[in-house]
Amino acid sequence: MTGLVVIRHAPTPWNRARRLQGHSDIALDDAGRAVALSWRPGVAAWSGWRLLSSPLRRASETAALLFPGQSLTIEPRLVEMSFGDWEGKTLAQLRGEKGAEVEEREVMGLDFHAPGGESPRQVQARLQSLLAEIASDGRDTVCIAHKAVLRALYARATGWDMQAKPPQKVQFGCAHLFDLDAAGHPALRQLNIPLSSRTVPA
């Protein structure tokens, strides 16, 4: 088995405003960088593991703050799920503007997608080739990624169809540990490993 740790990036101004970010390349601000630095003691166990990051700045900046001086590989397959035409808006705003359309899409589970965006099932498909490569290489790996990417991976590992509530809530400010078999199929080893005692909104 190959170990895989996935950590969602530190918060951005759009996270605090609850705006959908998707492929929008929103950087960390001072508050987000402070959060990442508060996590650093919690990642010591994985220092020296191979380090991959989404190409979006909020992820690559988080990776550099968590693992200073460590070699970082930018991995396009870790990019956040695209929210298409909905990026930059909040769910509350969309529900007010779109009403029934939003409700209809939200119950689609793995096939949910915003207009012009991706679905979790499509995210799983692009992740699978990466997972297979990590497993083939056999090197324990840390990935700094995004909420929708992490949820898609969790669904793949547990069989959650994303239509009901998840078996466990995926918490922010935590690391999530998976095992990959020889083919790159993920199994959940431990969810919600705290990175600090600081409370961060989900």
As averages over each run of 10 residues, the pLDDT of the chain (202 residues) reads 98 96 97 96 94 98 97 98 94 80 81 94 97 97 98 97 92 96 97 77 46
Q: Is residue 202 included in any domain, yes or no?
A: no
Report the chain's mean pLDDT, rounded to a whole number: 93
What CA–CA distance (Å, rounded) separates 15 from 12? 5
Q: Is residue 72 included in any domain, yes or no?
A: yes
Q: Is residue 200 included in any domain, yes or no?
A: no
Q: Is residue 100 included in any domain, yes or no?
A: yes
Q: Is residue 84 included in any domain, yes or no?
A: yes
CATH number of the domain where residue 45 is located: 3.40.50.1240
In terms of DSSP H, where are the helices of the chain?
13-16, 30-39, 57-66, 91-98, 100-106, 120-137, 147-158
Sign of the CA dihedral 126, 120, 23, 15?
negative
Q: Is residue 98 included in any domain, yes or no?
A: yes
What phi and psi, each to the nearest 5 degrees, are found at residue 130? Answer: -65, -45
Number of domains in the chain: 1
- Residue 114 CB contacts under 8 Å (≥ 6 apart), including other chains: 20, 22, 82, 83, 84, 85, 86, 87, 105
Q: What is the pLDDT of residue 175?
A: 97
Q: Is residue 201 included in any domain, yes or no?
A: no
Q: Is residue 132 included in any domain, yes or no?
A: yes
